[in-house]
Amino acid sequence: MPRGKVLQYLFNNPDINKPIEEIWADIQAYTSERFPDNPESVRMQSNMLVVLPPLSYKGKFLKGVYISNAVDYIQHLFPRNKEIFITAATSMWSSYPWSEYADIYLTSYDYPQRLEWYKKNYPKNSDKIFIPLMDTDFTHELAIKPVPNTKKDIDIISVGRLDKVKNLPLLVEALVIFEKKYGYIPKTALITGSTKEIFDESQKDIIREMAAAAGGLEKLKQYITFIGEVAHDKPLWEYYSRAKCSVLTSIFEGKNRMVYESLCCNTPVVVFKELCKYTRGNNEILPPNAGLYAYFNAESLADKLKEAIDKYETFTPRQSFLENHGRLKAANEFITSIPYYRENIPDFEPGKIENNSWINNAMNEIYQLTYTEFLYGHNIFLLDAITNETQHMTMDFYLETFNKI
């Protein structure tokens, strides 16, 4: 299960009056990784993505590499997995991972000063490979795409649970200002992933705060249409495609998938300039011409939402996203960053792993796939699969395959 404690002040204060090193320490005090002490948590909320499977061809063996928020649990289940895999941990939060067994720590952004601070304060982990890979879930840009012939009948969409981290009352305040300044209420949909039958007290508190900002529950219903559970595939892509813009009202969290999913569906995004500024350094959240930045106040948010709605056709979100993001680009960046592959892949060329003849010959011989086919269609599985509850390439499959070689 996750470890540590998330400090609430990170979520709703854009200008924290503390030394940056203390803020980094507070961020580092929590991880959403899964560990062996809570197997049920691991099974329900863990992931594992094989970026490159283990390969053998013409007498040469090459380790694979996977990314997971449960590296230590996988090590617990399969002590021999490191014989055939390099392991990369992600905290699913803005902290550096806590994994004891990972070879690689994924970080959200390239922030040299923060990395220097971390190595100084956690010297036992300073020999890890640190890869600043924002796209840690390897957004599948071929699957997440605009749904054809979808009418733009929603002005604003937001996707996020009813949680204090999302600052949803501020969105309502912005919609109230929007109505007063611009004379109408934009059609706004909020996909919460919940239904009213299972709201807990903390979720009810958020709704009460939103209702207070709106001027009552009935008025809130005029401002926002609440949508519960939506399948994380085409039904969700249809909602993104229907919207003129998306909005993320968080100012701090880990990687937010909504941003990239919206861009993949060619819908511009409005985010706060302050989003993750203490872990982002000088890195941008949005690609050029993919959306707008608001300041962390209701009026600025209202104005940027109006601009995004009026000009949504002038943005190029998907085109801008694809220039530097997507699964294949992320895989190439990841593999190129690992010295083992630069030194051991025959005829290695940075950024061109999908064209490497040794890789593709080995892929075809063992898995009957090209590397690109593997990357886009056959390599994602939950830890349920590791315990053989689904039929994918499980860890047992990899271990058994390479026992025969």
**Residue ranges covered by each domain of the chain:** 3-138+326-403, 154-323
C-beta neighbour count of 17 within 10 angstroms? 6
| Structure confidence at residue 196 (pLDDT) | 60
Looking at residue 137, what is its pLDDT? Answer: 64
Residue for token pair 């511009």: 268
Q: What is the DSSP string of 340-397?
A: HHHHHSTT--TT-GGG-HHHHHHHHHHHSS-HHHHHHHT-EE-HHHHTTSS-S--HHH
Helix (H/G/I), strand (E/B), else coil: 77: helix
Cβ neighbours, 10 Å, residue 282: 8
Q: CB–CB of 289/320 below 8 Å?
A: yes
Residue-level pLDDT at 254: 78
Residue 68, beta-bridge partner list? 48, 89
Predicted confidence at residue 46, as pLDDT, reads 78
pLDDT at 292: 98
How confident is the prediction along the chain (405 residues), in pLDDT tens digits per residue?
Answer: 678 888 888 998 889 999 999 999 999 999 989 888 876 665 667 788 899 999 999 999 999 999 999 999 999 989 999 999 999 999 988 999 999 999 999 998 999 999 999 999 999 999 999 999 875 668 889 999 999 999 999 999 999 889 888 999 999 999 999 999 999 999 999 999 876 656 778 888 999 999 999 999 999 999 999 998 888 888 999 999 999 999 999 999 877 789 999 999 999 999 999 999 999 988 998 999 999 999 999 999 999 999 999 999 999 999 999 998 999 999 999 999 999 999 999 999 999 999 999 999 999 999 898 999 999 875 544 334 333 333 356 788 888 888 877
State residue 257's pLDDT score: 86
Which value, to the nearest 10 degrees, does the dihedral of the CA atoms of residues 88, 90, 91, 97 take?
30
pLDDT at 315: 98
Distance CA 135, CA 261 (A): 11
What pLDDT, on a 0 to 100 scale, did the predictor assign at position 385? Answer: 37
Helix pair angle (168-182, 201-214), 10° resolution: 20
Task: Specify the pTM.
Answer: 0.90
Does 154-323 carry CATH code 3.40.50.2000? yes
